[in-house]
Amino acid sequence: MEYTIKYKAVNTYDAPVDEAFWQFLLRPEENETQRVRLSKFSNSINAAVDASTNTFGFPICRVHLKKAVERISFEANYIISKKHSNPFSALDSVVNPVHTQLLNSLDFKIEYERFLGETSLTTLNREALPFKFSDSHSIFDNLNELNAWIYKNFEFKTRVTDVTITPSEFLAQGAGVCQDFTHLFLTIARLHQIPARYTSGYLHQGNGYKGDSQMHAWAECYIPEKGWLGFDPANNLIALENHIKVAHGRDYADCAPIKGIIYSNSEKNETNYVVEVQAREESEPDVFMDFEVSEPLPFAQQLAFQSQWQQQQYQQQQQLRQQQNPLDSSEL
C-alpha cells in the first residue's frame, strides 16, 4: 500500500509575532512495515528548518522565527510504503504462566519501566479501575476485550475535551477524542502490568474511521514473545496497514505533533490544520528528500481546531515571570 500524506498548519495572529519557536513531530517512522519514500517540510516565510531528535529518538524539525509576522503556515508531505501484515496468526488465546511470571519479574519491570509508570495524563486510582483483566484469558485477549470495552462505552466526540484531560475526567464525561480513548487504554493496561505506549500517526481516510480527519492516536502494548502491538480503542481495531505510525511516548505530551513558544502581544490567534491521507495500491519510484524547503506557500485553508500547546502572549509570560519566581530546589 502506498500513502501520500499532507499535513498543513496555518497560524494567524491579530498582532505581529516578534519571535517564536515551533517544533514538529510529523514524519512517519521507518520500521518493519513502513518505509518513507518522500519527506518534505516547508514553511510560508522560508525560515530555516533545523533537524533534531526527541527524547525517544524520533526525528523532529524546528523553526525559529526571528522576524515579525502575522501569519505563517507549515506544510509536510510524505509518501510511504506500508506492508500488509497479519498478527493474528502468531497470537494465541491460551494463558501462558511463563508470560505472567515474566511480567512480574524485576528485570522486566526495570526494562519497561518507562511504559509501566503513570504520567499526569495516565493516572487513575487502582480502586477506580473500571475494567479488570481476567486471569483465565491471555494477555492478547484481555487487551482486545479492553479495546472493545472502551469503544462501546465511550462516545467519539470532538471539542468536548482538551489535551490536558485525565482518565478520571474522561470516565466521568463519557465522551472525547482519540487521545482520551488512548490515555484510558494505556492507564488500564499499565495498571495490569502490561507495558503500554502512546502512539501518534495518520489514519487511512475514506474507510469512515473515527479520528481520520486529524492526526490520530492509539496504544501499543508489549506482548511477551511477540513484541509491540497496536490497539485503536476509538475504532476497536488492531493497528495494521491502515495505521501509519509517526512516534510513540508515554503520553500525548511526548508525541504532540506541534509545539510552539510564541512571543507576541497578540490577544487572539488561530491555528488551523489539514491532514490529507491518500491511499493507492501501486507504488512510485523511490525519492528521498529530507527536510527540503520548498517555495513559499500561498496562505489558504481555514479549518478550526485549536492547539493547546501554544501559549501565546508575551505579556502573560511576563506576569508568570513575576508570579512564579521558581526557587532554587534547595534554598537556604
Partner 1 sequence: MSTTQQTIFSSYDKDPKFFDEIFDEKGNVKEVYQTLFDLYSGHSSQDFAKLNDKAKASFFNQGITFQVYTDQEAKEKIFPFDLFPRIIDHKEWETIERGVLQRSKALNHFIWDIYHDKKIIKQGIIPLDLITSSANYLQQMIGIDPPGGIYNHISGTDLIKHADGKYYVLEDNIRCPSGVSYVICNRTALKRALFGVFNHYNAHTVTDYAQNLLEIMESVKPRGVDEPNCVVITPGVYNSAYYEHSYLAKSMGVELVEGRDLFVENDFVYMQTIKGPERVDVIYRRIDDAFLDPLEFRPDSALGVPGLFSAYKKGNVCLVNAPGTGFADDKAVYTYMPEIIKYYLGEEPILNNVHTYHCSRPDELKYVLENVDKLVIKPVDEAGGYGISIGNRLTKEEIEKVKKTIQASPRKYIAQPIMSLSVHATYIEESESFESRHVDLRTFCLLGADKEFVLKGGLTRVALKKGNLIVNSSQGGGSKDTWVLKK
Helix locations, the chain, DSSP H? 97-103, 106-111, 139-153, 167-173, 178-191, 252-255, 314-324
Residues 3-42, mask of contacts with partner 1 (x by CB under 8 A): ------------------x-x-------------------
- State whether the Cα torsion 23-28-32-35 is positive or negative: negative
Neighbours of 47 (CB within 10 A): 20
Q: Decide if residue 127 touches partner 1 (CB under 8 A).
A: no
- In this chain, which stretch among 54-62, 91-99, 142-150, 292-300 interacts with partner 1, using CB under 8 A? 54-62
- In this chain, which stretch among 1-9, 45-53, 84-92, 166-174 interacts with partner 1, using CB under 8 A? 45-53
What is the nearest approach in angstroms of partner 1 to the Cβ of residue 167?
Answer: 19
Q: For Cα atoms 198, 202, 204, give the angle at the middle one, nearest 5 degrees.
A: 130
Q: Decide if residue 109 touches partner 1 (CB under 8 A).
A: yes
Among positions 113, 267, 284, 292, the unique one binding partner 1 when judged by CB under 8 A: 113
What is the nearest approach in angstroms of partner 1 to the Cβ of residue 69?
Answer: 17
Pair type for strands 216-223 and 2-24 = unpaired
Burial code (b: 16+ CB inside 10 Å, e: under 16) for 157-185 equals eeeebebebbbeebbeeeebbbbbbbbbb
Span 231-260, contacts to partner 1 by CB under 8 A: 250, 259
d(CA 319, CA 69): 24
Q: Decide if residue 327 touches partner 1 (CB under 8 A).
A: yes
- For 245, list phi and psi in degrees, rounded to 5: -80, 140
Q: Which is nearer to partner 1, 74 or 151 (CB)?
A: 74
Q: Decide if residue 149 touches partner 1 (CB under 8 A).
A: no
d(CA 295, CA 301): 17
Q: Decide if residue 320 touches partner 1 (CB under 8 A).
A: yes
Q: Decide if residue 311 touches partner 1 (CB under 8 A).
A: yes
Neighbours of 246 (CB within 10 A): 24
What is the nearest approach in angstroms of partner 1 to the Cβ of residue 327?
Answer: 6
What is the nearest approach in angstroms of partner 1 to the Cβ of residue 58?
Answer: 12
Q: Decide if residue 98 touches partner 1 (CB under 8 A).
A: no
Pair type for strands 237-238 and 227-232 = antiparallel
Pair type for strands 196-203 and 243-249 = antiparallel
Residues 261-300, mask of contacts with partner 1 (x by CB under 8 A): x---------------------------------------
- Judged by the rule CB under 8 A, the positions of this chain that interact with partner 1 are 21, 23, 48, 50-55, 62, 64, 106-107, 109-110, 113-114, 117, 250, 259, 261, 309, 311, 317-318, 320-322, 325-332
